[in-house]
Amino acid sequence: MPKPKSPKVIALYIIAGFGHLKPAIALLDQIKDKYPKIQTEAWDIYADASGQSALDKNSLYNRISTHPLYLKFWNRLSSPNSISRFFAKPAQRFDLLSNHDLKQRFKAAISQNPNTVFVSTHFTPANIASKALPDQKVFLYVTDIHPHPIWAIKRKNIIYLVPVQETKEILISYGIDRNNIKVASFPIHPTLLKNNQQRAKKRIANLKKEHSTDVLIISGGAGTGRFQMENLLSTFAAPAHDNKVNITYLASTMKLRNQLKEYRVTEGLPDSAVEIDTYKPENLYKAMKWAEVMITKAGGDITFEALAEGLPIYTLKDVGAHEVINRRYLEEVGASRPLESNVYPWELIHHDLLTGKLQEMAQASYQAGAFHREANTPRVIFEELGWDI
């Protein structure tokens, strides 16, 4: 009798920024850390035979997030109202009609190893997999507190994984069966989970001292492009010259990275005062571990990663209704403040540092991230499947 194959988890993602890639890979690495007997694999569903993703800088997502007119339309479409729900259904049907080859790939994976489960961090692959495999459970992790109505796929074999109870309630309002929704920790990469408590304690202690503050700034999409990043660099130039801050920029594209490097020269700043690199998961995790303050927009993945790490967050312009709700959530738990257009960023941060507000934000962030540091998503999935791991 042939030996039964080890269970396999295949993570499905779409490269649209890194908001869907990072949690997919983080989940697999959590599984590899805790359950080494389980096989893991990751699929970019838009990748061609060479592995190159078809979603690049010319993709619809990137056009929407950088063009003010497209963005205005997207913000309206992403609000939880009846009109946006009407638009969701045609988009879901288009997914199913345009991915015949992917459906066959799903079926082939199950035929090779029946003990295989698909976990998606985007509605498109979950939609296709659930239709291709009607007798298999497919897991869909919702990466924002407020899911766009397009996520509301009403199929009995899709199990929704959500980061907070509020997300569960929104999905129920969309008509999803409450029994198919599980609250599970946001997939945080093990790199951020290791030695986390020691870093949080050191960060809070450092914020109580007068020393050079380490600030991490992340760019990407509308509100965080070249113009906004150069303005930020200008406002931080004086404190950087005076050794009051150390800045790290993570730019969303190579082009923006090079433009910021040129602007750094214009401001007369040394590389040691303002480091500039590209926004990649490995660069992000490294920077987050030493940062004391983060400046970014409230994307779904970075929201929960920042909380898990215990970083205080100053937020930039929201892109879509989901980021509005993410930002409000961060503010409600006491971990965040918006950067107002009429206040210089360093003036606000320095004021918060001197008054103790920044330390309070760091403490609140770390406390709010406790659930996500539990890394319980693999266990939630295996219990739902009945796997005795």
pLDDT at 270: 86
Question: Which is higher by pLDDT, 130 or 220?
Answer: 130
The rounded mean pLDDT for the chain is: 84
Q: Which helix (H) or strand (E) holds 284?
A: helix 281-290
Reduced to 3 states, what is the DSSP secondary structure of residue 35?
Answer: coil
pLDDT at 333: 94
Say if residue 149's pLDDT is above 50: yes
Average pLDDT over residues 119-148: 90
pLDDT at 212: 82
In angstroms, rounded to a whole number, what is the distance separating the alpha carbons of residues 173 and 80? 10
Per-residue pLDDT of 69-124, as tens digits, reads 655 665 666 665 655 666 566 555 555 555 677 888 899 999 999 999 999 998 88
Write the CB contacts of 311 (distance below 8 Å, at least 6 apart in sequence). 203, 216, 288, 291, 292, 293, 294, 335, 362, 365
pLDDT at 97: 54
| Bridging pattern class, strands 313-315 and 39-44 | unpaired
Question: Which is higher by pLDDT, 70 or 329?
Answer: 329
Say if residue 63's pLDDT is above 60: no
Average pLDDT over residues 353-380: 95
- The full set of domains in the chain, from first to last, is 8-185+374-385 (3.40.50), 191-371 (3.40.50.2000)
Reduced to 3 states, what is the DSSP secondary structure of residue 274?
Answer: strand
pLDDT at 57: 45
